[in-house]
Amino acid sequence: MRRMIIRLILVTLYMMLFTLPAAAADADFGQRVNGLAEVTGLRVSTASNKTRIVMDANKSVSFKKMVLSNPERVVVDIPKAWLSPKVKKEVNVNSRFVGKVRMAQFDKQTVRLVIETKVGKNNYKVFTLNGGTVPGRVVMDFGDLGADSSQAKINLPGTTKPKPQAQPQKPAPEVKPAPTTEPTPQTETKPADDTDKELDGITGLKGRKITIDPGHGGSDSGAIGPTGVMEKSVTLRVAQELKRLLVAEGATVYMTRDRDTEVSPKGAKASDIEELQARCDIPNKNGSDVFVSIHMDSFSNGAAKGTTGYYYSLGSKRSRDLADKIRAGVIDQLGTQSRGTQSCNFYVVKHTDMPATLVEVAFISNKGEEQLMNSEEGIKKAAQGIADGIADFFG
């Protein structure tokens, strides 16, 4: 008996030897990042006259910048922030204006971005944007941003083209628009106007036409969960919240249905093909930029769970990209298991004329995921994840 007690004590001490340091490390990490902004993403887009870099955070942030030489670099420090391990730490841009972007945890409370660039001092700007689908953003623009007194290794053949576009707003001599408009983003003295202008470039949502398709509806309940939650109800709730988020970002949003009904004019009398084609007709006729069909998955085995993105097997690469980004956005928000991005032959993604995806948000046949998606928190997180994916697609 004594031997057994001694063995139990030794086993307990052995387990504590390994678990206590891990628990202490977790506690220390939690305390260290408490109150800090989490840097959640890095996005890059390049046009003919500009490269834009956007760093995303889960709350408002500030920044400090400096310039280093040999090689030429712009350094942007984000104080009171920590870098999520999910974020890609290095991006090879290789545009006319930016070579490489690197990001790292500079110290315990500072995230540092290093941008390799040779543009002159007046050919880049850094500013913040707060609010919207991403609470905090630091935006870095490099390129044709105005006259550069240093003329440092920048040669833009189209530099005379952007200026006439600005002149109709202010009928003044040609030399005046640049100095009156350039300081605005840097000083942010007109945040409302600046936000409207910059969101168009950052998320690409402003002015975009987006059609949301809440799966099923009316006489078609879709799948039904273990406690009776209907797929058609969940998809409509997610779609309505998604519409709210996208409209707030300046997008034009069309819904195939905004209540519990069929989409086809024939209602419950429509055939399956007629109902599905009615859903495709809406984005095709309004010239939508993307089409997103929202569904809940189901399987006979209640243990099945997770999120899947679908795109038409013979469709464009942009459809796959849209499906992949939305799937990733949902997983990031809901914490669901990834079931991958898969090709399919679903009617609504096959017969739409623009990048299209069908996202299976979660399994309504899984009791835990049914409960999640019947909650207000689950609905909001799913909608936010889809919105983040769409923003990333256009970003």
221 C-beta neighbours (distance < 10 Å), count: 13
pLDDT digits 0-9 by tens, 50-62: 888 989 999 999 9
Residue 299 CB partners (closer than 8 Å, separation 6+) = 363, 365
Q: How far apart are CA 17 and CA 31, in angstroms?
A: 22
Provide the pLDDT confidence category of residue 132 given band limits of 50, 70 and 90. low
Token digits of residue 22? 């891990």
Where do runs of H (alpha helix) occur along 289-363?
Answer: 317-334, 347-350
pTM of the model: 0.57
Q: What is the pLDDT of residue 17?
A: 61
Whether the Cβ atoms of residue 359 and residue 294 lie closer than 8 Å to each other: yes
Rounded Cα distance between 336 and 382, Å, is 10
Rounded to the nearest integer, the mean pLDDT of the chain is 82
pLDDT at res. 186: 36
Tokens of 240: 């309505």
Report the alpha-carbon distance of residue 353 to residue 126 in Å, rounded. 37
pLDDT of 170 > 80? The answer is no
Place of tokens 């399956």: 272
Instruction: Kindly state the helix (H) or strand (E) to which residue 50 belongs, with its residue range.
Output: strand 50-57
